[in-house]
Amino acid sequence: MAVKELEENYVPFQCMIVSDSNKFNVEGVSTAQYYILDALSNQGPKTTKELAEMKGISQSGISKLTKRLLEKKYIVQERQLIDRRSYKIILTSEGKAFLNRVDDFGNEIMNLIEEALMPEEVKAFSMMCKKITSLYAEKT
């Protein structure tokens, strides 16, 4: 019975989250590309090599991810003065605006959760999210 009830309540919740998050897929930004933009926003300009080391993927993988971000003008590349073969990847105002739209979406969801739940329920929900996320990370 508990599994059936969970399915009946979780599936619409998941659909709501996915539906709203797809607003940003329309802009053609993948999750991996979002993480690059977020890193640049929080840590400043980075080289392809630095981003690759941070994300644990190859430099060619980073180059593929940043190509679309360059096309969308969310980032620019600036040639290094010391090593002319290397570029710094810099977040643009368009990239910052995209991140602001994503933050606004996140705030909408957080406000909805706080509006729907009592403070002790928010704390319990937070702990459940952490527990599920940790288990998921272990399995992937």
pLDDT digits (tens, 9 = 90+) for 1-11: 577 887 787 77
Is pTM beyond 0.85? Reply is no
Q: Is 2-139 assigned to CATH 1.10.10.10?
A: yes
Q: What is the pLDDT of residue 21?
A: 63
pLDDT digits (tens, 9 = 90+) for 56-91: 889 899 999 999 999 999 999 998 777 777 789 999
Backbone angles phi, psi at 91, to 5 degrees: -70, 135
Confidence of residue 110 (pLDDT cuts 50, 70, 90): confident
| Tokens 């928010």 found at | 122
Question: DSSP strand E in 21-140: where?
Answer: 46-47, 75-79, 87-91
More confident position, 92 or 101: 92
